[in-house]
Amino acid sequence: MKKIGFIGTGVMGKSIVRHLLKTGYEVSLFTRTQSKAADLLEEGATWAKTAAEATADAEIVFTMVGYPHDVENVYFGEEGIFEGGLAGQIVVDMTTSSPALAKRIAEEAERRGMESIDAPVSGGDIGAQNGTLSIMCGGRQETFEKVLPILKVFGNEIVYQGEAGAGQHTKMCNQIAIATNMIGVCEAIVYAEYAGLDPETVLASISTGAAGSWSLSNLAPRMLQEDFKPGFYVKHFLKDMDIALKEAEAMQLELPGLQLARSMYNDLVNRGFGENGTQVLYKRYEKSLNNC
């Protein structure tokens, strides 16, 4: 498979397309704002006016958009993927979305003689740039095997999780772990500051010990530099937590840690920080904000 349709070129999508182009794949792009894909077009991608047009000539179509309603529109809407799709094509949704929607896409793809994989990713902008994303896949095993060589172009830890929707459920596990871990990372740094320690020196000790985590190693240094540029948007993280809480409620599962993290990030969105990276949770602990 050499012809790829790619829909959505945000923080991570752009780097993924760049890896595909460098590996020799032909990529037809569609995103809502063409100017945001200008550099990729200069690097060899071609422009499609609609999702259907990006799909028409492709052997495999990747989608990486913002919210479940965006996924639904891209697949089922007017001039969407299923309108332009043909039997034999494979669709891969890398958006963090709902497991139920992943199953619906799989059912519609099968009805049309197509195949599908839900394949949300983790690793943020750094993982996308380095081609080391963790990719969690749901769908038929034989379809997973077909797309695996392409996923290896930009992914490192690529794991088949089970039937359609299993990739999205796994991503919820990922987001739950990150949500509560981010609280711990912020509070560790703030504690160090209040204790009169040098936070960077503290990080040198604790990031390689039992407290170590991706967020502690990669996002805590950004916090200390007041670098809140998005590797992953707060507004999208809030969306993910809402999906996880809805799924947990359906399973009659209580997740108080996730509920706390969700309330803290929701507060940041209400204060205008939704376009920042998730490390902006650190600002939640600033006296100037807490006294607002």
Q: Is 212 exposed, middle or buried (0-12, 13-18, 19+ CB in 10 A)?
A: exposed
> Distance between CA atoms of 162 and 169, rounded to whole angstroms?
10
**Active-site hit among 14, 171, 239, 283:** 171
Pairing label, strands 133-139, 115-118: antiparallel
Nearest to 12 by CA among 127, 152, 179: 127
Q: Pick the closest to residue 143 from 171, 173, 105, 98 (CA basis).
A: 105
> Whole-angstrom Cα distance, residue 100 to residue 106?
10
Give the residues across from 162 on adjacent strands. Answer: 138
The question of whether 171 is a catalytic residue gets the answer yes
Alpha-carbon distance of 170 to 117, in angstroms, equals 13
Placement of tokens 């990372």 in the chain = 185
In the numeric block, the tokens 């397309």 are attached to 17
- The conformation of residue 28, written as its DSSP 8-state character, comes to E
User: CA 93, 96, 97, 100 torsion: positive or negative?
Assistant: positive
CB 92 within 8 A of CB 154: no
Amino acid at 80: G
What letter does residue 162 receive in the DSSP assignment? E
* Catalytic center residues: 171
